[in-house]
């Protein structure tokens, strides 16, 4: 991925050239921004995001056009304009409406960088091209080439979100099957993907997996490798559900083989496979250019075939039989809205995203009554139980570490020891034949407490369109005895996460019950870290309003034009701005 940097300058030349006196400082700002971004921002494959700088400073329309031609050739996914001085606003501005843009005006007294910033932002607002405003809190000396911390934070937040926009554009969501059990989130609406995310939808019947298994349209050598790895690393757990009606080990072994083939095949359907082309399956080998997928499963598949929990969990994790690698995004029950939530979180953090049912609110009183133990720490105000049999990435076990604490990390930071710890912390429980008549396995682990996480959900509302919900908080440790009691009465064969949202005392975050009561659907997606501010910035680029969040106001970073829609009610202003501008790819 690439970002463009546009150094704009005062164009007055002559015997006392204003432009000449500013060339070094202006290009210096561009180089400093490039160094900052390239040192801190990577794409989802771990590649450094390259910054492309205009060939010259930009003083007018001709140089702006030359810069745009260069950026078009390079394929930049967003632009940052930098300047220490006055420039000619509408003559130097970035007019491309298809990419996010930000402007950094140097806070100094010698030249009016802030005046240009205000003037060009007014032009952006007037022309309907939103731009983010970046302006340091403190005055700097003219020869100060450093980037203040507050400016760095905004540049990096903009860059990270713009790269996410770019990574989604032109990719596909692969819908395997259709609507699962009447879940509205699995109604895959191509208009949403096309207009808001720049993506397309590809629809394949689940029978395609059966065809590929029966016709052996998969890499047989990789299957042998994957099955051996699975037998060695994926511990089969006890059958909690089925008693004498359960399968014998021969039946479990058959389910393991089919589950591994399903994972291989879905991976091929998303990415494509050169091996399939080499053995004569060229069409199948092309794949679907999918950056995310969903699998319907229930019930038309799971009533007679092994469930998709293994393929969802293992693909969404940061490792498999080929070692540590980039996690995939595969949504349980083909809930594409949760899949998009997972995708945004994955792209903002470069780490795995977890899919969960937002299952139960537990008050402190209920916890103490049922478990005999009064909750403490993060759980003292109550918790929300996140639990689901499907695409809960094994990373969410919390067995990776940062600074000695549980974490989820980009795959290139994960060690083999951490991979093994995640696998060792997970059992694979034979599926409940009441739910999954065809069998299969469900991952089971308990997320370690103390991890900062952000739970999000994209919802669709008739007459309004997509809206995003955000809840920052922490995972909790209830203790083994209390956790086991709750799991046994809920579902002891599925992975559990105890989530305590950070409370504000107001609105939807007045208390934990209110968070649960305001959540817009039965599913949520969670990623590591408190990254609600990044979600808000990304949502504003896509023109998706945020209807619920607990991000401190000083961390909210949206395009400057949002201020024109109201400054006292920022949530309402967000709705009005998104409605006025419409989706990014309308």
Contact between residue 524 and residue 501 where contact means Cβ atoms under 8 Å apart: no
* Nearby residues of 225 by Cβ (< 8 Å), 6 or more positions away: 321, 322
Catalytic positions are: 333, 357
What is the distance between the alpha carbons of residues 167 and 77, in angstroms, rounded to a whole number? 8
H helices of 54-200, where?
61-74, 89-92, 113-127, 149-168, 190-192
Distances in Å between the Cα of 500 and the Cα atoms of 186, 222, 400 are: 27, 41, 20
Q: What are phi and psi of 427, to 5 degrees?
A: -110, 155
What is the distance between the alpha carbons of residues 322 and 301, in angstroms, rounded to a whole number? 27
Tell me how crowded residue 35 is: count the other CB atoms within 10 A of its CB: 12
Which of 445, 480, 472, 479 lies closest to 384, judged by CA? 472
Which of 3, 67, 224, 165 lies closest to 543, judged by CA? 165
DSSP conformation letters of 127-139? HT---EEEE-SS-
- Pairing of β 79-83 and β 101-105: parallel
Residues written for the chain: 586
Q: Which residues pair with 472 in a beta bridge?
A: 454
What tokens does 314 get? 């293992």
What is the distance between the alpha carbons of residues 429 and 444, in angstroms, rounded to a whole number? 7
Count how many Cα atoms sit within 13 Å of the Cα of residue 61 in the half-sphere of its side chain.
2
Cite the beta strand spans of 235-363 per DSSP E: 235-236, 290-295, 319-320, 323-324, 330-332, 354-362
Per residue in 401-429, is it b (16+ CB within 10 Å) or e — as a string? beeeebbbbbbebbeeebbebbbebbbbb
- Give, for 417, the enclosing helix (H) or strand (E): helix 416-424
Q: Which residues pair with 400 in a beta bridge?
A: 407
């Amino acid at each position: 991925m690439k970002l463009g940097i546009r150094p704009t300058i005062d164009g007055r030349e002559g015997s006392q050239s204003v432009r000449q006196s500013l060339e070094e400082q202006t290009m210096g700002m561009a180089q400093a921004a490039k160094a900052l971004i390239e040192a801190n921002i990577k794409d989802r494959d771990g590649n450094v995001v390259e910054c492309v700088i205009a060939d010259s400073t930009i003083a007018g329309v001709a140089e702006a056009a030359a810069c745009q031609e260069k950026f078009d050739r390079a394929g930049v996914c967003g632009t940052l304009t930098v300047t220490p001085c006055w420039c000619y606003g509408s003559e130097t501005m970035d007019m491309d409406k298809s990419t996010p843009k930000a402007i950094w005006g140097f806070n100094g007294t010698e030249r009016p960088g802030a005046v240009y910033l205000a003037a060009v932002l007014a032009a952006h607002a007037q022309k309907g091209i939103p731009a983010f405003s970046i302006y340091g809190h403190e005055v700097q000396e003219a020869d100060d080439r450093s980037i203040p911390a507050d400016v760095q934070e905004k540049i990096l937040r903009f860059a990270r979100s713009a790269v996410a926009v770019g990574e989604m554009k032109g990719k596909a969501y692969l819908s395997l099957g259709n609507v699962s059990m009447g879940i509205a989130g699995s109604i895959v609406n191509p208009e949403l993907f096309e207009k808001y995310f720049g993506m397309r939808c590809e629809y394949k019947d689940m029978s395609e997996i059966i065809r590929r298994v029966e016709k052996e349209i998969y890499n047989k050598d990789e299957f042998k490798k994957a099955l051996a790895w699975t037998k060695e690393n994926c511990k089969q757990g006890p059958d909690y559900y089925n008693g004498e009606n359960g399968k014998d080990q021969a039946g479990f072994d058959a389910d393991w083989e089919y589950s591994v083939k399903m994972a291989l095949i879905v991976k091929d359907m998303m990415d494509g496979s050169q091996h399939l082309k080499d053995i004569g399956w060229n069409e199948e080998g092309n794949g679907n250019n999918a950056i995310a997928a969903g699998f319907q499963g229930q019930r038309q598949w799971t009533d007679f075939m092994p469930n998709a929990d293994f393929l969802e969990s293992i693909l969404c994790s940061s490792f498999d039989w080929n070692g540590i690698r980039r996690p995939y995004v595969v949504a349980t029950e083909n809930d594409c809205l949760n899949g998009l939530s997972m995708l945004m979180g994955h792209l903002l953090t470069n780490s795995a995203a977890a899919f969960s049912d937002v299952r139960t609110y537990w008050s402190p009183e209920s916890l103490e009554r049922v478990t005999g133990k009064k909750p403490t720490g993060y759980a003292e105000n109550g918790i929300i139980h996140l639990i689901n049999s499907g695409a809960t990435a094994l990373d969410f076990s919390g067995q990776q570490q940062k600074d000695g604490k549980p974490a989820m990390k980009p795959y290139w930071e994960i060690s083999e020891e951490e991979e093994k710890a995640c696998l060792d912390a997970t059992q694979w429980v034979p599926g409940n034949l009441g739910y999954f008549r065809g069998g299969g396995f469900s991952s089971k682990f308990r997320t370690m407490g103390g991890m900062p996480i952000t739970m999000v959900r994209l919802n669709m509302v008739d007459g309004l369109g997509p809206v995003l919900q955000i809840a920052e908080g922490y995972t909790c440790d209830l203790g083994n005895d209390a956790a086991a009691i709750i799991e046994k009465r809920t579902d002891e064969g599925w992975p559990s996460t105890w989530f305590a949202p950070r409370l504000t005392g107001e609105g939807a975050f007045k208390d934990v019950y209110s968070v649960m009561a305001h959540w817009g659907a039965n599913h949520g997606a969670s990623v590591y870290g408190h990254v609600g501010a990044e979600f808000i910035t990304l949502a504003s680029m896509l023109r998706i309003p945020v209807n619920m969040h607990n991000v401190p106001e000083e961390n909210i970073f949206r395009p400057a034009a949002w201020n024109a829609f109201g400054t006292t009610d920022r949530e309402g202003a967000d709705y009005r701005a998104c409605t006025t501008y419409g989706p990014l790819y309308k």
